[in-house]
Amino acid sequence: MYVLQELKSELRINGELTEIVDALKVIAVTEFWSLEAHRRERFSRFLAAFEGFFQMLDFSTIEHPFARDTSGRLSLLILTSDERFMGGLNQEVVDTALAQAGAGAADLIVVGQQGADYLRTLGRRFERLPETITSRRPYEAANLARQHILAMAAERGAGRLLVVYPKPVSFLVQTVKTLPLLPCTELISLEKRELGKREAVLTPRTQVLVDSSPEALVQYLVDTWIAEKLLEVFEDSRQAELSARAVRLEESYQGLQDNRKKLVHSYHKTHHEALDKGMRDTFSAQVMRRR
């Protein structure tokens, strides 16, 4: 009877854990697809707005250190997660960052406790992006992160910043990506691509009134571009986190289901054995009384 009680208790615990894991998996899946639905539209609208700037104005003669300078100290921004059920994704992100050219002498900026713990075991010095930034809503966090990173870059003379982060290839597959954020090479490429469209948009009679100086406009565009790219990688990282978590939770769910089948089999087997033993003991007792 004691074994049966133990098996019944294990079945109850298994059922409760299965329900919890299934609920966590559903939450991760729902949040993943919800994030996927709205982010694509927002980023496409943002890119269209930026293209409009370069079609209207010529910034090719304006120099900005964060837009064109390729010299200076290298910084690596490493995005990892604080969440469990991530498999080896966090470690893969850190390993990819440390494998970059110049990583040995680079300044390391880490987001996420898991990445910080791993770097600590490797004996690498790093700086944590303050939780007062990462705990905010994504857009606010991206703007605060931009301010913090640019201030640090200006202070240390870091003209190059490489972001290393997880990105979902699909719902079931994640990869690690690198994004050169400083200098803004994507911004320069966009400017050159839109340069050829300017003549088609602006006729000789067209006049564009600009209230701010070209330098101030370039500063605004650089700041906005960096904040938007940070928002993009933050959301990519969040999606990869949700994807990895859902996959690991599904594996845990299947493991619990398999374990439940074994427990049910053991319970029924033990129950039948107990019944058989009880019947044999009863029969033996009756035989003994008849004698």
* CA atoms of 216 and 262, how far apart (whole Å): 69
Question: What does the pLDDT read at residue 205?
Answer: 45
Question: What does the pLDDT read at residue 188?
Answer: 60
* CA atoms of 162 and 100, how far apart (whole Å): 9
**pTM of the complete model:** 0.72
Q: Closest Cα to residue 217, out of 54, 69, 70? A: 54
* CA atoms of 162 and 140, how far apart (whole Å): 21
Contact 66, 180 (CB under 8 A): no
Q: pLDDT tens for the chain, 291 residues: list them.
A: 557 778 788 888 888 889 998 898 888 888 888 877 776 666 666 666 666 666 555 555 556 556 555 667 788 999 988 776 677 888 999 999 999 988 888 889 998 888 888 999 999 999 888 776 666 677 788 888 888 888 877 776 667 889 999 988 888 888 899 988 877 766 666 555 555 554 554 455 455 555 666 667 777 777 888 888 888 888 888 888 888 888 888 888 899 888 888 888 877 777 676 666 666 666 566 666 666
Q: Closest Cα to residue 176, out of 44, 76, 43? A: 76
Strand partners, 79: 111
* CATH number for the segment(s) 60-243: 3.40.1380.10
Contact 159, 65 (CB under 8 A): yes
* CA atoms of 239 and 168, how far apart (whole Å): 6
Question: What does the pLDDT read at residue 163?
Answer: 92
E-state strands within 61-136: 74-79, 107-111, 127-128
* CA atoms of 152 and 73, how far apart (whole Å): 11
* Single-letter amino acid, residue 159: G
The tally of CA atoms less than 13 A away on the side-chain side of residue 29 is: 12
Q: What tokens does 152 get? A: 């640090």
Question: What does the pLDDT read at residue 234?
Answer: 87
Q: What are the domain boundaries of the chain?
A: 60-243
